[in-house]
Amino acid sequence: MRPYTFAGGTAVVTGAASGIGRALASGLASRGSHLALIDRDEEGLRTLVARLRPQHPELRVSVHPFDLSRTAEIPDLAGAVLREHPRVTLLINNAGVALGGAFTQVSAEDFDWVMDVNFRAVVALTRAFLPALRSELDSHLVNVSSLFGLVGPPGQSAYSSSKFAVRGFTEVLRHELGPLGVGVTAVHPGGVRTNIARNARVGSGVSASEAQAGQRQFERLLRLEPARAAEIILGGVERRQPRVLVGDDARVLDLLARLLPGSYGRVMGALLHLAGEGR
């Protein structure tokens, strides 16, 4: 498959109002891609677009405020995007949410919310945009999993389950869609400095002190700048890489999980503890 060409194509990016999504939007615009930007944060989207349009007046940039937990409405969302951008060449399913707490501390409703946004929305968006992708030569699909789609740490039952699901779904699609001319990339970011920890829900069974301690520990792991993460991801897209590991932590823990698939927990815990202390 030839390298992906950004210039003149149209990219749909979810979770575009902040973090990696915002950095991806900026990187795509600088490469000449028209943009359809999706996020539940309408103000954040409009702030981003107000910066991008003067810098790239030649590009078509549309905003689509939408809560991806409303998975049944995603076909309507896709229809709205396609009315503004009839040709879609790249779909980046980047949006994600987090939920802190052991499995016994989180409600079924909160667990399902994470699965809806992180996995079911990815499936629904892929289904909705796949006809458009297949109609283009050399189109591409990117699904953002996580470091926690490679390993399963304590306290991340919903998040890790959703990201492992994204990983499996993406690997199947790579084998199914490659022969049809659609490239597929799974992305596994490690600790990227975004608002995901600050915005995470906390299980109803988690005490306030536990929640604060968990958030502080998680935030200390978020070191890589979103702009750098976006450049790594877009470089992987251009090269049609099947899998992109973002950050040293993702590469180390991926190797650990492959070397010690049944017993990586203790070593992983020690590594994450050291990383959280900044060593």
159 as an active site residue: the answer is yes
Residue 139 counted as domain residue: yes
Residue 270 lies in a domain: no
How far is the CA of 174 from the CAs of 1, 90, 123, 141, 208, in angstroms?
12, 14, 14, 9, 42
Report yes or no on 2 lying in a domain.
Answer: no
Name the catalytic one among 6, 129, 159, 218. Answer: 159
pLDDT at position 123 is: 98
Listed as ranges, residues in the chain with pLDDT below 50 are 278-279
pLDDT on residue 47: 97
Q: Give the model's pLDDT for residue 198.
A: 64
From 50, 48, 41, select the one nearest 25 (Cα to Cα). Answer: 48
Asked whether residue 221 is assigned to any structural domain, the reply reads yes
Residue 277 lies in a domain: no
DSSP codes, 188-242? EE-SB-SSTTTT-EE-TTS-HHHHHHHHHHHHHT--B-HHHHHHHHHHHHHTT-S
Q: What is the predicted pLDDT for the residue at 8?
A: 97
Helix, coil or strand: residue 111: helix
* Nearest residue to 162 via CA among 192, 120, 201: 120
Question: What pLDDT shows up at residue 192?
Answer: 84
Q: Give me the pLDDT at residue 215, please.
A: 56
pLDDT of residue 279: 44
90-118-258 Cα angle (round to 5): 90
Q: 273 lies in a domain?
A: no
Record the pTM.
0.91
Dist CA 89 CA 66 (whole Å): 21
Residue 168 is part of a domain; what is its CATH number?
Answer: 3.40.50.720
Does residue 228 belong to any structural domain of this protein? yes
Cα 182 from Cα 92, distance rounded (Å): 13
Residue 236 sits in which domain range? Answer: 10-247
Listing DSSP states for 6-40 in one string gives -TT-EEEEESTTSHHHHHHHHHHHHTT-EEEEEES
> How many domains does the chain contain in total?
1
pLDDT at 178: 96
Per DSSP, what are the bridge partners of residue 176? none
Contact between 191 and 275 under an 8 Å Cβ cutoff? The reply is yes
| Domain contains 275 | no
pLDDT per residue as tens digits for the range 101-142 = 899 999 999 999 999 999 999 999 999 999 999 999 999 999
- Structural contact between residues 71 and 116, judged by C-beta atoms closer than 8 angstroms: yes
